[in-house]
Structure 1
Amino acid sequence: MSPSAYLQTRERFIAAAPHEVFELLANPAMHPVIDGSGTVRAPSGQAQRLALGSEFGMQMRLGVPYRISNTVVEFEQDRLIAWRHFSGHRWRYELEPDGSGTTVRETWDASRLRHKWLLRLLGFTRTTGPNMERTLERLAAQFPEGER
């Protein structure tokens, strides 16, 4: 399978300032609201604002309920936030000012995993791209253009 299957990126213009988008992404309580995969259910424990080194859990459901732990591994206020799951793959959001809004780039990076075959077997290499597109659509919907 192509290495690009394990490193996927999507981007979208969001009609909001980078600070507004960043604050939403740094709030784990909002992750179920914007999740395009339908698997993120709720934060585990107190949903505190994320910062570099923050550890946070999420209640998930993919057929059966489970919990996943994450650690914020990249953080640049209003520009970049990324967290790593226990297995090592990362979700990264990069924000760039773009006229009256922000271009948001979401990246799923599973390129460093040892057991990539498992992601392929579970269908993640096929479904992650479309799920990221839905996530970015849901993120954009949090900032309706006419309400600014």
Structure 2
Amino acid sequence: MKTLPFLLYLLLISSSAFSQNPLNTKGESQEIINLIGSYSTARETKDTVLLKEILVEDVDQLVSSGVWRKGIDEAVKGMMESSAQNPGDRILKVESIRFLNPDAAIVDARYEIKNASGIVRKMWSTFVVVTETEQWKISAIRNMLPVGN
């Protein structure tokens, strides 16, 4: 009879060891939304210092024209050139966050650039974000221009 409580105890311990913790806490989600906001601000204000704080060293970016930017220096340089060549108000609105594990998530955002004449370029951006030194950072960016836009 003493084995039944012991077996139940083992079952309880083993099930809790393999149970999944909820990954998308409100705090984590808000930190990621703030990260994307910081990215948008850094692009808008051409703040390379902020960009280098929120991007991982080996970041890569695929822009809507099909150009790859690999590494932080190439990415930041390309972002600054793109902001200069395509001026306008940039808006990134996070639509969804999917946590892959406690240290990685995929973020989908609507990305709009409104130029001086009022024309709005509507795109999508997907970010892969990771924690590095206990801070969320951007590891990869994919910008997409839907057909017909």
Is the TM value for this pair above 0.5? no
Q: What TM-score do the two structures reach when normalised by structure 2?
A: 0.30
Q: What TM-score do the two structures reach when normalised by structure 1?
A: 0.31
Higher helix content, 1 or 2: 2
Greater RCO, 1 or 2 (C-alpha within 8 Å, sep 6+): 1
Q: Greater Rg, structure 1 or structure 2?
A: 2
